[in-house]
Amino acid sequence: MSRDFSPFFERFGWPSGKGTLPFCIGHRGASGHRRENTLEAFRLASELGAEMWELDTQITKDGVVVVSHDDHLERVFGVDGHISQMTAAELAVLEGVNIPTFEAVAALGRELGAGLYIELKAPGTGMLCWQHLRRLNQRFACLGSFDTAQVRELRDVGCDLPLSVLVRVDHDPHVLGDQAGADILHLCWERAGERPQDLVTTELMRKVFDEGREIVLWHEERPVVLKDIMQLPVLGICTDLPDLMRPAMCGEERLG
């Protein structure tokens, strides 16, 4: 099954001829090599060949969007504190913590020509991210969430960026796509056994495409699985290790 993505690119103003499809989406940057969701991880993802960066949004006490998967700082930084309970200034000077603002990541994306695949965690961050990107006419971006209400809010106010809904393996992607008003179904099926690729059937893909939607796949670091899903007509694949998807950028063949 082949897929022409040019109508999608034209509709949303994404750059044409940008890399090889499926897009390599650095999951929290090149998080298999650098601390996740940091400027260093995002820069390295581009150096390793990723066309887009997956990133997560939280919000500080004074309403500044920052890039972090967790509100709590313990897992990544070993610090007992919550982003939502700190001001941006307090967070910025916290020793041993290097959480970038969304504006800083967006600026780096413009500099390097990288797309932003934004997963909305804290409610309210979607509108702020969209408004920032809109002011700068930064079109190579997508906004999405597991929370269909956050995605629907953006759809209902006329967000002109593509919207994604993230789908767990035990949920119906078509139902969630309709609830969210999504343009992309992001199938988060990395934990669905040793061969999650078997769930991405021709029937499933055909139905998604007939609905006028595209597909993005989970973060994958198993070479044998990655090799299979790279043959599918999907828009993008997330990975902690962009060099597995783009081995030519690193001067060696990794997938065999």
> Could you report the per-residue pLDDT of 114-154, keeping only the tens digit for each?
999 999 999 999 999 999 999 999 999 999 999 999 999 99
The structure tokens 């939502």 sit at: 84
Q: What is the DSSP letter of 137?
A: T
Closest Cα to residue 177, out of 144, 206, 201, 199?
Answer: 144
What sign for the dihedral angle of Cα 31, 34, 37, 42?
negative
**Rounded to whole angstroms, how far apart are CA atoms 87 and 81?**
12
Q: Which two tokens stand for residue 119?
A: 């997963």
Q: What is the DSSP letter of 31?
A: T
Helices (H), 113-250: 125-135, 148-156, 173-180, 202-210, 223-229, 242-245
pLDDT reported for residue 253: 44
Count Cβ atoms below 10 Å from residue 40 Cβ, excluding itself.
14
**Rounded to whole angstroms, how far apart are CA atoms 176 and 213?**
12
The structure tokens 């998080």 sit at: 31
The whole-model pTM stands at 0.95
Domains and CATH numbers, the chain: 6-12+20-244 (3.20.20.190)
Residue ranges of the chain with pLDDT lower than 70? 248-256
pLDDT reported for residue 2: 80
Closest Cα to residue 220, out of 234, 204, 206?
Answer: 234
> Could you report the per-residue pLDDT of 8-30, keeping only the tens digit for each?
999 999 998 787 899 999 999 99
pLDDT reported for residue 256: 44
pLDDT reported for residue 247: 87
Nearest-5° angle of CA 248, CA 56, CA 115?
Answer: 45
pLDDT reported for residue 249: 59
Please spell the DSSP secondary structure of 86-132, one letter per residue. Answer: S-HHHHHT-TT--PPBHHHHHHHHHHHT-EEEEEE-STTHHHHHHHH
